Structure 1
């Protein structure tokens, strides 16, 4: 852990606020900015349309607010996001964090990909969490008429289930069931008028797989097949060590051919001849991974992987993952290939 500390000390955490139209994103943003936390945040707001109004809805605070109009942050203006982040990096010592509020029509994936694809951004920032606001009263309707609503939940590290004052306990439980069916690994926080403790959505380091494993050691252990509309989650595990080269070749080809349907991919892998755990995660076809330290004492060295996406072929994914198991020769030598 000590070798990762300097990186965390020098990079700026970025929180992405997403959620369908009217879910309460701006209300939560205002709560964050008005909280007496003593921190300095830069805010990037994206609206769809030539004339923006969200900027006018954000409270008058000391924070710097950047507005990107005439395009969704997940497509035409991602270059603007990179440029804005680049300008913020020049005064990173003055910032405690960056908040990106996306338009309610946005797929969060390209936003997350920005922090993988641009080397300067990747070096200076870290994606802290994707926080999705959900309208408890209207979620069922949104899932029925918008695939973006399901994608926003699928990508979430934290879901703020908002407008709880408008639903009964039975209705709330059903909404939580629908959320868990799309993304069983997201942390759900109930709220009215977006009122949640700021520490539950900011500074969580939730996008990092190793942090999730520290908090929830059994994460990735369930073999789930659940879905809501066309979004599903599948998870697999193998007891034998994996051949690193086989896995990298397989996952690389899979992400290239199926990446548009794979919203989030996460895994903890045991490579042959390696005593450390390898944490893997991907957003669509953009992947990242690193070793995260030794296996906990007494913990079985199983490789586990989770896919959240659309139109996923369970048998094919299982066969592909199992095909990455190392041969006896590579297990004995620690080689990465047969």
Structure 2
């Protein structure tokens, strides 16, 4: 089993973190672990959480990013990283007072085996954001830690103002963090594919799973949980690739791409080694894959992608190379393995 992405959900009180979290927990067949900050402002649907794991890991004693050390968070992550749970992702809820910069540091430098940084999702209230959060000349520091900014509660704005508000927030975010992605939402309903991969359904085809029976995707007296679907581009190739070409693309993905994943084959002298790659925002993660394969696959996931441009760039990155990689290219690859 590969490493489990750890996704932090931040945002001021009332921005809609609860709605977003409970929405993604309803993803059919997904197995999500949740770290709950007891003094936080989120009231996670206990039934949804218990449908994923036995119970959420809990951190008490105030704001999660103000803990005297990272030990308590690491203990919670280690518990949820147990392979027996077969989780697709771990989500940390943070109180409205939590500092996204500190939380990103805690996750990024966690020493827990089997987990990796899955990004920081900052949820903002479209109707009050510029009065409560971004009210100064300089964009707030929290933008610098975010990998995905969800402009929520767009339904509380006149329809004619929604696109303008999203673009205004996007411009402010990009002043501080050009790599962050910005997406609009109503009720926190973003495509879960932006956050994690759902493992293959383990139930028999034609049978209704326990979760399907217990949690219908429609709340009483509400419309279904529609959301704008993410775009996805997949390319494949056979043969060994140039690691420099792959890393250049991973470090600077095509416009609009939020996540990249896949496997690539690289020649090391007389043999081929496979590497599993995962990218979220600026975080690039590599690990060794199965040896002996010469198959390459890259998948890009994001919003409003220029599909042909993304396909062209991914294809160029995994184009077969006849030359052996240079020692410098292999060292560059090795540096990512050590992270």
With the shorter chain as reference, the TM-score category is 0.5 to 0.7
Stretch deviating more after TM superposition (85-94 or 64-73): 85-94
Matched ranges for 1:138-287 at <5 A? 138-144=128-134, 150-167=140-157, 168-169=161-162, 170-203=164-197, 211=250, 213-216=252-255, 274-275=328-329, 278=332
Q: What do residues 141-181 of structure 1 show as CA deviations (whole Å, max 9, x unaligned)?
A: 2235699x933322111111111122314333323322222
Q: Give the match for residue 22 of structure 1.
A: 14
Distance 1:57 1:175, change over 3 A: farther
Q: Give the match for residue 54 of structure 1.
A: 43
Stretch deviating more after TM superposition (131-140 or 92-101): 92-101
Q: Secondary structure at the match of 1:130?
A: strand
CA contact (8 A) 1:44 1:67 kept: yes
Q: Secondary structure at the match of 1:165?
A: helix
Query: 2-side partners of 1:83 and 1:54: how far apart?
Result: 22
Q: What do residues 197-238 of structure 1 show as CA deviations (whole Å, max 9, x unaligned)?
A: 11123349xxx996453445999xxxxxxxxxxxxxxxxxxx
Distance 1:188 1:70, change over 3 A: same
* Candidates 90, 99, 106, aligned match of 2:82: 90
Normalised by the length of structure 1, the TM-score is 0.54
* Candidates 127, 137, 146, aligned match of 2:117: 127
Aligned structure 1 segments of 4 or more residues deviating by more than 6 angstroms? 264-267
Q: Give the match for residue 99 of structure 1.
A: 91
Q: Secondary structure at the match of 2:183?
A: strand
Q: Give the match for residue 303 of structure 2.
A: none
Q: What do residues 66-91 of structure 1 show as CA deviations (whole Å, max 9, x unaligned)?
A: 23232111121632211111222334
Query: 2-side partners of 1:45 and 1:146: how far apart?
Result: 31
CA contact (8 A) 2:101 2:144 kept: no
Q: Secondary structure at the match of 1:128?
A: strand
Q: Give the match for residue 10 of structure 1.
A: 2
How far off is 1:25 after superposition?
0.8
CA contact (8 A) 1:157 1:186 kept: yes
RMSD of Structure 2 on Structure 1 (CA): 3.9
Normalised by the length of structure 2, the TM-score is 0.54
Aligned residues, how many?
219
Q: Give the match for residue 311 of structure 1.
A: none
Unaligned runs of 5+ in 2: 198-229, 231-246, 259-280, 285-325
Distance 1:214 1:178, change over 3 A: closer
Q: Give the match for residue 34 of structure 2.
A: 43
Query: 2-side partners of 1:30 and 1:61: how far apart?
Result: 12
